[in-house]
Amino acid sequence: SAGTNKPLLTLFTKKPCPLCDEAKEVLEPYKKRFILQEVDITLPENSSWYEKYKYDIPVFHLNGKFLMKHRVDIKKFENHLAKLELQND
């Protein structure tokens, strides 16, 4: 059941976004432990996210809750991910 309850990591991004690319590289070793959903804030249906985050991307939400922005805080990410994994066991 490990695969079914993977935490959802949402990345709010736009093109181009060098910081987003960098963030994804940092998260690469963890990618088997979460599902990555990318939200392009420039799309019309995402305009509310655009208003909220246009100066802050990349922004990450974990399971729908704000986690971090600008850079990946790997300690914070690991802690939150581990907590969610424990809950799902």
pLDDT tens per residue, range 14-60: 999 999 999 999 999 999 999 999 999 999 999 999 999 999 999 99
The yes-or-no verdict on residue 76 having pLDDT over 90 is yes
pTM of the predicted protein model: 0.91
Cα gap 89→75, rounded to integer Å = 21
CA distance between the termini of the chain: 8
The pLDDT value recorded for residue 66 is 98
Lookup result for tokens 């990345």: 11
The pLDDT value recorded for residue 88 is 78
The pLDDT value recorded for residue 5 is 84
Strands (E), the chain: 8-13, 35-40, 59-62, 65-69
Domains, in order of start, for the chain? 8-87 (3.40.30.10)
